[in-house]
Amino acid sequence: MSDKKMSFEESLKRLDKIVQEMESGEMELDAMISAFEEGQLLLKACTAKLNEVEKKIEKVVKGADGELTTAPFESAEQ
């Protein structure tokens, strides 16, 4: 169901399937309500996935010890 491990893509696919099933008109009311609830959870998860990441542009740099690490990257630095 709306597992947190589900990827964005899987969530969207599941949503599509739920909507399709509801559209078929062969669903009983109870099933429809639980499908609706699941859909709501999936929608929430998808929206969260779209927005959960903060914009972060990094670049890999070589540290003093010679190891590669990451640092913020400004595209203005040309």
Partner 1 sequence: MDETVQIFSISALTRKIKGVLTTEIGQVWVEGEISNLKQYSSGHTYFVLKDQTAQLNAVLFANARSALVHTDFLKDGQRVRAAGMISVFETRGQYQLVVRTIESAGIGALMELYEALKKKLRDEGLFENIHKKPLPLLPQRIGVVTSPTGAVIHDMLNVLERRFPNMQVLLLPVKVQGEGAAESIARAIEWLNLNCAPGSPRAVDVMIVGRGGGSLEDLWAFNEEIVARAVFASRIPVISAVGHEVDFTLTDFVADLRAPTPSAAAELVVLPKSEFEGRIAQRSADLRRLLLQQHKLLAQRLAQLTSAAVLKRPEQVVEKYAQKVDYLEMRLQHAVVQRTAAARLRAEQLFSRMGLVRERRVAELRARLAGGRQRMGMGAATLLAHSKGRVETLRRQLMLLGPLKVLERGYSLTRGADGALIRSVDDVAPGAAVLTQVVDGVIHSKVDKNCERSAGDE
Indicate which single residue of 1, 4, 30, 50 sits in contact with partner 1 (rule: CB under 8 A). 50
Tokens 């062969």 — which residue? 26
Residue 6 sits in the site that holds partner 1 (CB under 8 A): no
Tokens 């599941």 — which residue? 14
Nearer to partner 1, 57 or 64 (CB): 57
Q: Considering CB under 8 A, how many residues would be counted as binding partner 1? A: 39
Closest CA to 74 of 62, 63, 58, 61: 58
Residue 40 sits in the site that holds partner 1 (CB under 8 A): yes
Instruction: Give 11: exposed, middle or buried? Use CB within 10 Å, 0-12, 13-18, 19+.
Output: buried
What residue ranges bind partner 1 (CB under 8 A)?
Answer: 7-9, 12, 15-16, 18-19, 22-23, 25, 27, 29, 32-33, 36, 39-40, 43, 46-47, 49-51, 53-61, 68, 70, 73, 75, 77-78
